[in-house]
Structure 1
């Protein structure tokens, strides 16, 4: 059962979505999009000022009365700066990595400051948590993440998130609700190891791991695994900041798998997809060529990260409206 604050936040988000609709990508925050309320510290500060004002009036203490007005002016100035800290910030989506069911999708959101003044303590958040605060100097750009639990395969939309600030002094919280058309791909959860894959095939002239021979034609790259020869590591790609990868060549014999939907009778749709996902991950880790055959999808055996992504994407979108042949 939701708490009262959670229900109020949900109703407020729904009202904001009806008012503003789906936001473009990127979007520049206008002043009318920004809401502001005092924090708990701000409420305590206001009560303290009220008590100080009553005491000063009761005892006719001009010094205390002047201090109350100065502190009150400070609070109003803080409210103005807190609201201005968000105005005209540009928000855009950045690339998000696919995940498996059961993991957390990490939506990457870019914040850009095109104003001549710095922005302080900006955060992004949703029901699952809040990102670390960042400072944006004039012309600067920062990328923050918003996490969402991936509970089913397919495209996972980022339903909502908010950008907020408590700068300066933490007396007020200014925020804006965002509803952008941003999605992340969720692959099926790999089944536990145990069920062996279909019998392997040996092909000649196909793509093959360079550590096993066949150095005639370069075929691509795959992830580095313990035991791989350091002679075949793609050091130039690693120096450019990419992950450690191994060069793969074409020629001679290659171990190849064909993972067929029909080879898993008796399992339901999700169980079959999970088992196929497990076989794909194991074959890719071993450097073997593999292909998949689903109803309406036939991907021949190949190797490399791009082929793995195509196969996993076919599993993720199988039977959905976004499914691709």
Structure 2
């Protein structure tokens, strides 16, 4: 394998083969700036941010030109932020801006870093400990099938988790949380109690509420508002966890019967995700327009639902958001 072959495989998005091609390279080609650049790009595409940061740092150290160092150190700062290495990202950016004070992209990264810090780190402790959970994989796949062509989406009880980043093409993305709404570019964040929150926008195409209801004193009122504000609501809760298993849960155990008592109906779709630890969570979907039970979720059913039919949802004051 040659460096050019590795580059071609990367450009074709054949990332695994490109990584193997890079691993087969001999010194000094294996440690060249070009090889490190490809390695950093692959790691970024795969969201392996720690590996990406290592590649960009090595590339910056070997760069011959100021222009290359500018690009590599900026990418290093981004990868450090996205891997949760906030102190490193801050240090790299400070040094970078001393050398390249007019770098607009670096100043944009400063803004991203500030938002990430407000979220408790790019992922935050809660997210970083849970983002690989099987139920999050399930929720993501379900939500992407439903909301891929949505016009608006709301995440309720975000706890600074970046689930709205799954939907960069959705024009209107809102996060609401009583303590830590998610903050990022393109997202409107509201620090508020959802039950008392009165947004201008009355309804959203899709409303997410993940691992929230089990914490509440009044889950039925909360569930009713979730449905009333959504065309489709996607909800997850712990499934049949024993009472007092987790001291901050107020509603365990939660099963299908208890969910039905909260939402006043059966879900259109449900999925039980089992972690390797044996813990289970149930993901349920409620379509406001239909009580029909779905065997699966077909993305084509939602392809034209919002963009061409009622994309301009009604606002409380009659205006557009």
Both proteins in one fold, TM over 0.5 = no
Larger Rg: 1
Q: Normalising by the residue count of structure 1, what TM-score does the alignment of the two structures yield?
A: 0.26
The structure where strand makes up a greater share of residues is: 1
Higher relative contact order (CA 8 A, sep 6+): 1
Tell me which protein shows more helix as a share of its residues: 2
Query: TM-score, normalization: structure 2?
Result: 0.26
